[in-house]
Structure 1
Amino acid sequence: MQGDEPDTPIVVLTGHDDMEFAVQALEAGAQDYLVKGNLDADSLLRSIRYAIGRAKLEQRLVLSEERMTAAIEGGKLGVWDWLLTSQQFASLSDRWLSMLGYHPDDGDLPNGSDAWLARLHPDDRAHFDSALASHLEKETPNFQCEVRLRHRQQNWVWVFISGHVVSWDAEGRPQRMVGVQQDISERKIMEQRLEELAMRDTLTGLPNRRSFMQAIDHEHGRVKRHPKLSVGVLMMDIDHFKSVNDTYGHAAGDEVLKAFSSVIGGKLRETDIFGRLGGEEFAVVLPDTDQAGSWQVAEKLREAVAAMRVTLDDSVVVQITTSAGLTHILPGDTRPDGAWCVPITPCI
């Protein structure tokens, strides 16, 4: 109807005074209509003003929808519309479905919101329910959480979910929620890598000093709660390591450190905690291990290191030994300034 000037407000002047024609005119793009027999100056002026106002409102609505569509597409957001009363999703966008490996035409789409929520990772369900309840009880203005959902291929996908209630019944009960969902798996992988860098020694891959001290704090907490527990701590270093660096170079020293870490790690239990404190200094936490057992572990590790042979690139073979001290964590121990103030008994 509007031809080459789609933004021009249109008022239809007609001789038909019936509702069906009026609806057709408005559906075709007109903003208002006038009947010839009822036309006067005031009616014409009022209709023109109304048409101009309505046209501006429609233009703003179109622009708003275009911006929203651009934001959703640019942010790679999936859109959801949840009917809480019937526990059904009124709609799930194609992008939302594709995040979990589905297509709208798939015959095996989960049926109902409960079926979709069953795809939440077991460790994330409580967090999801808590965030949702806080919003439904009007404690938070929006519902937001980061959770894992099971993909159609059975892997886990990290997603950020955000939404809010858009309608309530007469008794104030929520009826409908709308929101968006974003795949944040890449961000989570990056966060995990950064966390590993912060908590792991880059050369050996062992827990670094910060991570190791956190582990000792955890074990100390266990001992304080259960004083009968016995937790051993071995402090170890490589004998005369400086001479290795001076004789063969720091690259050779790095190879020795990595080999030492591998040999010691291979002799420990999965529950033991082996960390590098810095330089050639290492430590081992031995949970649920009494003094006699700790001494046995220390001797086993000493023998394993003595049997080590590190072959360098130039076929030179380096042999090392280790020294260790033994202590046990006690309920009354303290940890001022990041160092355990406990007596170390030389054992090797």
Structure 2
Amino acid sequence: METVFIKGLGLIGSSLARAIRQDHPQIQIIASDVNEETLQYAKKNNIADRVVTDMTGVDQADYIILASPVSQIIKDIAALANLKLKSGVIITDVGSTKQTIMQAAKVLTQRNLTFIGGHPMAGSHKSGVQAGRADLIENAYYFLLPASESADTSKLTWLLAGTNAKWLKLTPSQHDKIVAQISHVPHIIAAELVNQTQQAFKDEPVGMRVAAGGFKSVTRIAASDPTMWSAILLNNKELILKQLTSYITGLENIGALIEKEDRSALFDFFKRAKVSRESLNTPARAPFYDLFLNIPDKSGEIARVTGMLAKHQLSIINIQILEVREDINGILQLVFNTEEARDQAARILEKDYEIVTR
């Protein structure tokens, strides 16, 4: 019987445990976390077979998954380098920065241990073991970074096959540049916008109460785990600082255009953004095909939509609500993996809902 040792049972660690349990019920899962309540929840809900607060049992593991904040992952790598581990063990992590982790992992490869850096590009504004889901990473990119040319990723992808992730190999520098721009900086911007808005409305509490769909959509990720994000920023600081400087320069340029009342330049600014943003919804993102429809703000409306599609055995790979305001229609985005499924869904739903072209 094979054994998996998971260090860290937050959102990602517990989601991987659930996916492994679902796809490989024969595998024993040992989970480690510093939070006793987290461990008891994991044991009670059959997320793990054994729970520990340290590295006890790691020597029995065929796979070791490090799923703590990045700073702790680096410490755990150093600890593993001094432990007797099982022959052939595969060690991986889920940290969202990679250059510092891959540098730290050299102490493992020097011992001829297999280390494969990993980062699932999925998450939630919720955190903790209770927020984990077996399908959290479904159809999301999962970056893999083997620490050596001889490292075979096939066993790891077999272990995590239940996530239904899309595997993509990158170099550490490629990875950190990409995530700094599309993940790390947006989290900073969202958090600062919330903090700034809270300060601006400190004497006008009604301001935060009336914040509608646009503000909530832009700032949703500001509700993410502060411990995790503090660690992430400090472990990718050079690229983040570089991109923040560029972003601030961009804002200053926009401020100058507003000051000059340069309507043409402002139009071009928004036009470029509109074209780029709309390109994310084109079939170039295949196999993703989006359908947008107006839905009223009524209890059970989303369940009605998904029920109608389920009757025709149509599978939705992602769903989200856009531009939500209380008591009026919102935009429901449904994502399908084939153009045929999207078009069939449109024919089914157009009788009861307005299909929106975006």
Same structural fold, with TM-score higher than 0.5 when normalized by the shorter chain: no
| Greater C-alpha Rg | 1
Q: TM-score range by the shorter chain?
A: under 0.3
With normalisation by structure 1, the TM-score equals: 0.21
Task: Considering fraction of residues, name the structure with more strand.
Answer: 1
More contact order relative to length (CA 8 Å, sep ≥ 6): 2
With normalisation by structure 2, the TM-score equals: 0.21
